[in-house]
Every structure is written in C-alpha cells, then in structure tokens.
Structure 1
Amino acid sequence: MAATSPTPAPALTAERILEATEEVLRRHGPAKATVVDVARALGVSHGSVYRHFRTKAALREAVTKRWLDRTSELLSGIAAGAGDPEARLRDWLRALFDAKRRKAGADPELFATYMVLADESGPAVSGHIADLIGQLTGIIRDGAGTGVFTVPDPAAAARSVFHATGRFHDPGYAREWERPEAEADFGALVELLLRGLSSR
C-alpha cells in the first residue's frame, strides 16, 4: 500500500498572522506578546512573519485595524441601506453601542489589550473614526436631502452626533456600559439628537 504524503501546511498569509497575533495577545497581553510568540504559534520562523509585517509596531497596528474594521463593516450595511434616514441613524447608533458593549463584555482581557494597542495606533484609530463619521454623514445627508433632517452641513452634524454619543462607544467609558441606567441614558440621548436634527 502506497504511503500517503503529509498534508502541506497552509500558506502563511497576512490574515493567518493576524489571527495568530490576536490569540497571542489574548494569552500573553500586549506587554509580553512578541513576534517570536506569534511565529511559534504558526510554526514558522519570526523572519517569515517579518516578511509580511516589517516591524512589531506594524504588526500591532495591523491587528488593531483589523479589530476596528469589524465594527466598521458591521455598521456600513446600515449606513448604506435604503429607507427612512431617522430609523437608519437610530439603528446605526444602537449597533455601534451594542458592538462595543459586546466586545467589552464577551472578552474583557482582549478588550483591555486592544485599548492599549489603540493608544499606540494613531493612524488606525484616526482612520476608524473618520470612517464612522463618514458613514454618519451619509445617513444625515440622505435625511437632509429628503427633508427629514434640517441641517445645513451634514458633515458637521455627523461629527457632533459622533462626539455627543462618545460615552456609548468610546472604550474609556466601558465600565459605565453595564450600569442599570445606561440603556435608558442611551435611548434618551438618541431621541434628543434626533429631535435636534429634525427641528425646524
């Protein structure tokens, strides 16, 4: 009987490296996790990891961007959808709050790790915020175009809405998200903002 050849290892891709990095960060935390740890988890040399990410900082920036992009992608479907802009804005803000609260509650160690990485990763965080404000701008612009919202500058209104709701999506407030009154506070703020956008 002919011997079967061993199954070749899957190709080393940037995505595989980022998945392994996330697991290493969860296990060791940001202070102790190294590129050597990531390479060991993948069964490759650390030089192989460096061929995809030239520095440890670049790898940490990329894994942070990947984490943030998950939220952006979730929200983009709501932002790009059709239908009543007021309902879309309400749904978008709800989805953002729920996504951030879920991340903080489901895996608190990894969430704490990403808070550290986000502080290091200026471009990733700035890009994420710009993307989210861009999504909000699109929703508010649609509302202004149909007369649902009465705002002269949708981009300025979007920035105001984003910053006004920061308590419900900025990771610095994560401890407050589980307070009994957080849900009522969130709902009241959203309704206040919607009234402000549509006031004549």
Structure 2
Amino acid sequence: MAPPSEVLTAERILEATEEVLRRYGPAKATVVDVARALGVSHGSVYRHFRTKAALREAVTKRWLDRTSEALAGIAAEAARGPEDRLRAWLLALFEAKRHKAGDDPELFATYTTLASESSGAVDEHLADLIGQLADIVRAGVESGDFTSADPVTTARAVFQATARFHDPGYHREWELPGAQDEFDAVVDLLARGLRAA
C-alpha cells in the first residue's frame, strides 16, 4: 500500500498509468496494473476514475494537453508579428509530434491507439489547436498583415494543409530526407497566401 504521507491524487494515477502503458501497451495494461504500481487497491483508482475508459481518456487528454499548452504560449506572443508567430507555431507542432514519435516510439504507438478510442479528448484537442491558429490569423487581419474573411475557416484550412506534418498517420515520413524542406515549402506557400495584398 502507498505510504500514508502520499495522498492518492488523479495526477499520481495518471503518471502511473502512463508508465504502465509504456510497459505493457494499451492492449494488456489494466487498472489492476496501475493500482499495483501505486501500491493501492484497484478500488482506490476507481474512486478517481469511474471506468477504465475514463482513465484512458484522461491519460490521453493529459498527453495531448502538453502539446496544446506549449503551442498556446507561441500563439499568445504579442511581441512577435503574426507571420512569425504562425511559422513558429507550425514548426513547434511539427517538432513536438516528431519528438513524440522518435523519442519514445512505444509510447507514441500506445497514445495513437488511445487517441483513436478517445474521440472526445481528440476533438477537444483539435478544437483547441484550431482556435489557437484562428487567434494568430485574427491578429494578422487586425494588424493588416493577413487577409481573411473568416479566421476560423482559414485556421482550419492551414491546419489541414499541414496535416502531413502533425497527423500521427504520417509519422514514418517525418524523419525522411527532405521532410523539413517540404515542411518549409508548405509553410512559405501558406504565409504568402495569407499576406495582405
């Protein structure tokens, strides 16, 4: 059992769940494994997360939120011009996904599986990312740097146009020779298209 000084929190459970998923993968990891890693009963885990699906959704959301939070800082950098912010944001998204896939391929595969099960967390993540992009486009329109009749629609288009560089389905292409050059070419094209005449 966990030492009395360590209170069982949702955050501790999520950390342990991540380790259990890394060790066993999503097909074999159980709530009992998580409880064992924490030194508590599985009932204690269920007091924080009512079902295994809720626990998996929460750990997926936590993983996706790490990327969203890092990108939110770039989107909010008012000292940078909108085009610089857009370029930095897209590059940070590409690099974050590339690092997740390359640094810990087992965990990346696990989260790709979990994300396919957790449509609510993924939908929320995508809406957050598109909202950040829309804020950048809106700032560009307000400063006269960009032209866009509808910043949200433009943000969705930019997100879709760069999908090859952040959609996990393309992760095998991210380390190929020329991937960075192709990314730069797509971003240059998008930036030119957004610039006000």
**One fold, TM greater than 0.5?**
yes
Query: Size of the alignment, in residue pairs?
Result: 194
Regions of 4+ moved over 3 Å: none
Q: 1:96 aligns with which of 70, 93, 98?
A: 93
Aligned residue in 1 for 2:191: 194
Matched, 1:77 2:73: yes
Question: Map of 1:141-152 to 2, 5 A cutoff?
Answer: 141-152=138-149
Q: CA deviation at 1:8?
A: 3.1
Structure 2 gaps of 5+ residues are: none
Aligned residue in 2 for 1:18: 14
Q: CA deviation at 1:130?
A: 0.1
The DSSP-based 3-state class of the residue aligned with 1:49 is helix
Question: Map of 1:98-177 to 2, 5 A cutoff?
Answer: 98-177=95-174
Q: Is the 8 A contact 2:134 2:154 kept in 1?
A: yes
> Distance between the aligned counterparts of 1:23 and 1:59, measured in 2?
13
- Read off the aligned partner of 1:158 and give its amino acid letter: A
Structure 1 gaps of 5+ residues are: 1-6
Q: Is the 8 A contact 2:26 2:113 kept in 1?
A: yes
> Distance between the aligned counterparts of 1:199 and 1:50, measured in 2?
54
Q: CA deviation at 1:131?
A: 0.1
Q: CA deviation at 1:199?
A: 4.9
> Distance between the aligned counterparts of 2:134 and 2:58, measured in 1?
26
> Distance between the aligned counterparts of 2:122 and 2:93, measured in 1?
15
Q: CA deviation at 1:9?
A: 3.7
Aligned residue in 2 for 1:32: 28
The DSSP-based 3-state class of the residue aligned with 2:147 is coil
Matched, 1:67 2:63: yes
> Distance between the aligned counterparts of 2:166 and 2:16, measured in 1?
27
> Distance between the aligned counterparts of 2:101 and 2:124, measured in 1?
21
